[in-house]
Every structure is written in structure tokens, then in C-alpha cells.
Amino acid sequence: MKKGFTLVELLGVIIILTVLVLLVIPSVINLAKGSSKDIDDTTKKLLYDAAKLYISDNPGYYEENNGNSYCISIQDLISDKYIDSEVKLFENEEDISNKVVEAKYQNGFDYELKSKSECTERILYKDSTGANVPDLMNNSLVPVTYDEENSSWKVVDPTTEWYDYSKQKWANAVVLKSGVTKATGDSVRVPTSTEDVDSSDVAAMFVWIPRYSYTIKGKYGKNGTGTSSPGAIDIKFVNQYTNDNGSATYTEDEVSGWYTPPAFTFGSNELKGIWVGKFETTGDGDNPTILPNQTSLRYQTVSAQFETAQKFNTILKNLGDSHMAKNSEWGAVVYISHSIYGKIGEVYVNNCKSYITGIGADEVNGSQSETTCNNNDNKYNGSKGVNASTTGNVYGVYDMSGGAYEYVMGYSKTGYTNTWGALTENGVETDHAKFTSQPDAKYFDEYTSTNKTSCPECKGHALYETMGWYDDLNYFVVSSVPWVLRGGNTGNSGIGGTDNKGAGIFNFYYNRGYGNEDYSFRIIISPI
């Protein structure tokens, strides 16, 4: 005869089973929840991969410009067969077919699932020339345009028309002083004299030079007849990865084929463009600025200039590299200045004896003067001052003719073993650049040639190709004076020229790298 469970035993079994249920069920629930979240994440990844493929298939619309954002409809992904069927999130069974994938570009696309009301499309303005959109490096730079009516700069919405290279209106942007904030439409103050720098909203002004390729027809450009009347340099804007190499051979008389200036390759990075200091560097070695109506920063050795130029890196959020201009970067401004996108004609000299930035002489080769330094008509935004711009208007780059001579990071290696340290002459140390070590190769141009007219590494540097245009001086670096100087200075008539004709954007000269009252420099930002 079988014996059944007693009541006490049965209760014991029930209690044990209850305890087991209490222990196991939460784990099962948590496992299910985890699975649901895994499914949600997997579903989102599928959506993001579909959006990525959708963007890849429509490159003309979804342009890779830092600051752009797009709203890609899930319905479009479904109807265009990027997603096979209606998609649900499994955690809460929410139907997401009416949502969008937001794709934001900042050195690559990032994706996020949003409702339509949460996503706002933002497409940066691009002019009709095909010039690459200025890279504001995640708002490290603030885009500005010039308000003619109020003779001032104001913040502009970069999704609206704010530059036009076909009208010589180059894109300008500023670095605001620490603690200064400005909204779209707000005016931003720049100094109007050497005395009011403290009231300026701006620490630095930059001009965007988009990536391009160039060619020079004949020895003196299109329709040019000689060094005194050179013609236009042909320019075509190109995308980030175009690297035209021209012909396998070339001569002093002509650049055959299209050539992309080396300024747009920075180390391993191919650039959409570069930001060029609008004026010679101002301020001091600890707190450099780039402003008009200020005395340019001089008396520094090349090594000190190099270190000063890197001070702006603190505001670039690792999206750009601030450095002293290389000779090739100077050249990139020269070619476009003498194209249909620039002034084409001769840039007026800055003849201010006090080395005040942005000044334009009364005439193209005006002699050194104190009168022009404080005359409103001769200031960068005055009726005469704009002639000293590379565009012939307020939107260009200044101080490239006259002002102070500008050291650039370009040197002669020939006959030298200690370029970056002390130079010696008859066994005695002389003035020199005073580098303690050689910088990374991306920061300088190196010349092994001694002949300026047969120098393969000089191509794209505005040296032999435009040599002597407008009678600008052209003395190439050699071992004893290895560092390149550009632009001439306010008193250049005393160095081989007459009536200041030695100064100009095509001018190149040399020195040992030491500091002097006549020597300044320019700052460049390479967006990386």
C-alpha cells in the first residue's frame, strides 16, 4: 500500500518551490529584459547601417562638411528597400516607422534615432564656384561678414550666404576673446587704433583659402606681357582628395597642366582648405593676436615665432593645427590672389613706418610713411586700405606686400649640418633661428636646390614660376642665409628696389633666422 505525503511534508515542498521561484524568476525577467535591450541595440545598428548606406548612395546631397546634419526618414529607408520590413523596438513594442535617423557630420557621421520634431536639418552654405565649405572646426571659429552700412563685422549663420569667391568675397572667421559670446547677427568689435585693443571682442581673424589646383599659361600668366604686367593665374577649386600633379616635366616658362599646391597636404592629412591669418601676427609671444590697426609682433627668432604660432591650438579642440606659415602656404595665397577669385592686379604696399597692420598706401608702391598709419582712408577697411588686400576689398588677406618682412618655415638644407641650431661663420657662432630640435616635417619646407629657376621642390611655392612679377625682389636661400622671408617690408626701397618696388606678394628674400625690428610672421590653421 502506497504511502502519501503528510501535510507537513507537502507544506515543506511548497515552501521550497516558492523560494526557488523567488530566486529564479527575477533572473529570468532580467535575462529577458537584457535580451530586449540587445535586440533594441541591434535594431538601431541596422537602422544606422541602412542610413550610412543611404548616404553613400546619395553623395551629391549628403555632403561631408563639418557642421552639417541630416534627417533621414525611416519611411524612406523602408520604401527604398534599405530596410526589408516595418521595424519595431522590442523593449516596449514601440513602432518607429515614423521616426528619423539624425546624421551629424564632424570628421565622420554620427547617428541617432529621433522623432521628426527633434531633428533639424542643417546644411552649410556653399557658393556656386565649387569651393570647399569653410571648416569652422566645431565652432572653434565664428563665421563673420562685413556690415558696410555700419563699417563693422557681424556674426553670420553659416547656413546662409556669407561668402562668394566669384565676387572676391572670401570667407572670414574670428576667434572670440575668452569669455566673449556672440549670437547670429551680433556685431563684433575689432580695434580701430593701437590704443583700444582691450575693448576688442576678437582675438584673431582668419581667411579661408579653399583647396584648388592652378596652371600658369605662358611665362607671365594668361595674356600677361612681362614682369610689369603679368596676367591671371588659372584656378579651379577641387575636392579634398584631388592632387593634380601637372606634367612630368616643366620649365621656367610655363606650368604645364594643373597642379595642386602642397599647402593643402599637411603631414598625412589632405585638407579641404587652410585658414590664413588675415594680418601679420600682433600681440606678444605669450598672447598672440591677429588684428588690424595694431603693431605687428616682431623681434622674435624663427624658433620663437614657431612656438608663438602654436598658442592658438588651445581653442581648436584637436580639430585643427595652428602653426607658423610655411613658404608653400604663403604661395597658396599668392596664386589665388592673382586669379579671377582675387585682385589679379598688384597688391598695394603697407607703407606704415610704425608697422601697423592692415594699412594701405596712397599708391601701389608708396614710400615709407607715418602719415598713412593713422589715416582712416588708409586703414584696412578704408577706401585706400582695401587696395592692400589680396582681393581688393575688405575680405582678403593683408600685409602681404610691405609692412614687416615675414619669416616663413622654409629653409635651405644645402651645405648645412646644423640648420636648426647655431650657425657658425669662421668658427664663430652667429645670430640664428635657435631651435633646440627639428620640428616635425609637416611644419616646414626644405630646399636642397641652390638654383631658384631649377628647383623641383619649389613648385607650388610661388617662387620661380612668378619670379620678379611687378619687379618684386627674388633672392633665393643659400647655406649662409638659409631662412626664407616673404613680402618685403615698408622700407624695401633700400634693399635692391626703388620706390618700394622690392616689396610685394611675389617677393622672396633670405636671412639667418634671428629676430629683428623688420621681421614678423603669419599664423595658419590646418583643419585636421
Q: Which residues lie closer than 8 Å to 319 by C-beta, 6 or more apart?
A: 66, 106, 107, 135, 137, 138, 140, 527, 528
Domain spans of the chain? 7-118, 142-527
The per-residue b/e assignment along 420-435, b for 16 or more CB within 10 angstroms, e otherwise, is bbebeeeeeeeebbbb
The type of residue at 360 is G
Cβ within 8 Å of residue 42, ≥6 positions away: none
Report the alpha-carbon distance of residue 72 to residue 82 in Å, rounded. Answer: 12
**pLDDT tens-digit readout, 335-371:** 999 999 999 899 999 999 999 999 999 999 999 999 9
- Are the beta carbons of 327 and 410 closer than 8 angstroms? yes
Angstrom distance (rounded) from CA 240 to CA 394: 27
- E strand map for 220-301: 234-237, 255-259, 265-266, 269-270, 273-277, 282-283, 288-289
Query: Could you tell me if residue 461 is left (phi over 0), alpha (psi between -120 and 50 degrees) or otherwise beta?
Result: alpha
Give residue 318's pLDDT.
84
What pLDDT does 394 receive? 98
DSSP string, 458-517: GTTSSSGGGTTGGG--B---BTTB-EEEES--TTGGGTT-STTTT-STT-EEEE-S---T
Query: What Cα–Cα distance (Å) separates residue 345 from each residue in 39, 340, 362, 491, 520?
Result: 65, 10, 16, 21, 25
Q: Which residues of the chain have pLDDT under 50?
A: 1-2, 28-29, 31-33, 248-250, 417, 428, 494, 496-497
What pLDDT, on a 0 to 100 scale, did the predictor assign at position 86?
A: 65
Q: Are 347 and 504 in contact (CB under 8 A)?
A: yes
Question: DSSP assignment of 14-35, as one string?
Answer: HHHHHHHHHHHHHHHHHHHHHH
User: Using CB atoms within 10 A of its CB, is residue 5 exposed (0-12), middle (13-18) or buried (19+)?
Assistant: exposed
Residue carrying the nine cell digits 565652432: 139
399 in Cβ contact with 279 (< 8 Å): yes
Helix, strand or coil, per DSSP, at residue 101: strand
The Cα–Cα gap between 485 and 251 comes to 24
| CA atoms of 23 and 19, how far apart (whole Å) | 6
For residue 69, what are the β-bridge partners? 104, 122
List Cβ neighbours of 504 (8 Å cut-off, separation of 6 or more): 346, 347, 349, 401, 469, 470, 471, 472, 487, 488
Q: How many residues does the chain have?
A: 528
- Predicted local distance difference test score (pLDDT) of residue 317: 80
Q: What is the pLDDT of residue 254?
A: 54
Distance CA 47, CA 111 (A): 9
In sequence order, the 6+-apart residues with CB closer than 8 A to the CB of 312 are 175, 204, 288, 322, 523, 525
Rounded Cα–Cα distance for residues 214 and 374 (Å): 38
CB 291 within 8 A of CB 276: no
| pLDDT of amino acid 481 | 87
Which own/partner contact pairs does 47-54 have at CB distance under 8 Å and 24+ positions apart?
Answer: 47/74, 47/77, 47/83, 47/87, 47/101, 47/111, 47/113, 48/101, 48/111, 50/77, 50/82, 50/83, 50/101, 51/77, 51/82, 51/101, 51/103, 51/111, 52/109, 52/111, 53/82, 54/80, 54/82
**Using CA atoms, how far apart are residues 124 and 127, in angstroms rounded to an integer?**
10
**Residue 335: enclosing H or E segment and its boundaries?**
helix 327-337
What per-residue confidence (pLDDT) applies to 28? 47
